[in-house]
Amino acid sequence: MYEGVVQDLIDELGRLPGVGPKSAQRIAFHLLQADAIDVKRLVEVLTEVKAKVRFCETCGNVAESEQCRICADPRRDGTAICVVEEPKDVVAIERTREFRGRYHVLGGAISPIDGVGPDDLRIKELMTRLASAEVTEVIIATDPNLEGEATASYLARFLRPMGLRVTRLASGLPVGGDLEYADEVTLGRAFEGRRLLDV
């Protein structure tokens, strides 16, 4: 334990995701030794991000105004919505440049043991969006783990009767890996998601 404010800093840092007590201590002492100017810049960015950035009223992505950059862009295809768990998933899919539609960020996945149910996610907002918009296809891109899979089944149950084309991002073999190292669950999913070869 350290004196007063130093310990307060360690405690605050330790509350960040992925930061354990040891890392918190290391970061705290790094900050103590850093130039005042660098620390000031960090403080300013933190303050600015909290003041400026909020969540898009339409899709739940991070935004600097009422709507995020993607929702506000008229060139994006309004007929397809890609459903993801977190804003960082939007970034990951955007990097592929494969998708030109819009997104919907749920804010997590259904996890009964953590007390997270459908009502805790932005599912109602998705339904409202689908009822009013020109959407014809919903691509479910939740994480390829059990919670993501279960969230996808839950969504599919409501979306299918709405006459929409509902697809799930294929989860399969990692590119660059050897087939023999793939586990049976991944390999099984890859079989289900197989596609025709273009001739």
User: Among 3, 183, 194, 195, which residue interacts with other proteins (rule: CB under 8 A)?
Assistant: 183
The position carrying tokens 């009822």 is 131
Measure the CA–CA gap between 164 and 130, rounded to whole angstroms.
9
Beta bridge partner(s), residue 138: 81, 166
Say whether residue 68 binds Zn ion (CB under 5 A): yes
x-or-dash pattern for other proteins, window 19-38, by CB under 8 A? -x------------------
- Say which entry of other proteins, Zn ion, none residue 56 contacts (CB below 5 to 8 A, set by partner kind): Zn ion
Judged by CB under 8 A, the residue of 18, 30, 163, 195 near other proteins is: 18
Residue 161 interacting with other proteins (CB under 8 A): yes
Q: What count of other Cβ atoms lies within 10 Å of the Cβ of residue 172?
A: 17
Task: Please state, in angstroms and as integers, the Cα–Cα distance from residue 58 to each residue in 72, 74, 103, following that order.
Answer: 10, 14, 9
Nearer to other proteins, 78 or 118 (CB): 118
In this structure, the number of other CB atoms found within 10 A of the CB of residue 147 comes to 18
Helix or strand (DSSP H, E) at 165: strand 165-168
CB nearer to other proteins: give 134 or 184.
184
DSSP state of 101: S
> Is 43 one of the binding residues for other proteins (CB under 8 A)?
no
For residue 178, how many other CB atoms are within 10 A of its CB? 8
**Residues 20-59 within binding reach of Zn ion (CB under 5 A):** 56, 58-59
21 interacts with, out of Zn ion, other proteins, none, CB within 5 to 8 A per kind = none
Interacting residue ranges for other proteins, rule: CB under 8 A: 17-18, 20, 110-115, 117, 144-147, 149-150, 152-154, 156-157, 160-161, 174, 176-177, 181, 183-186, 188-189
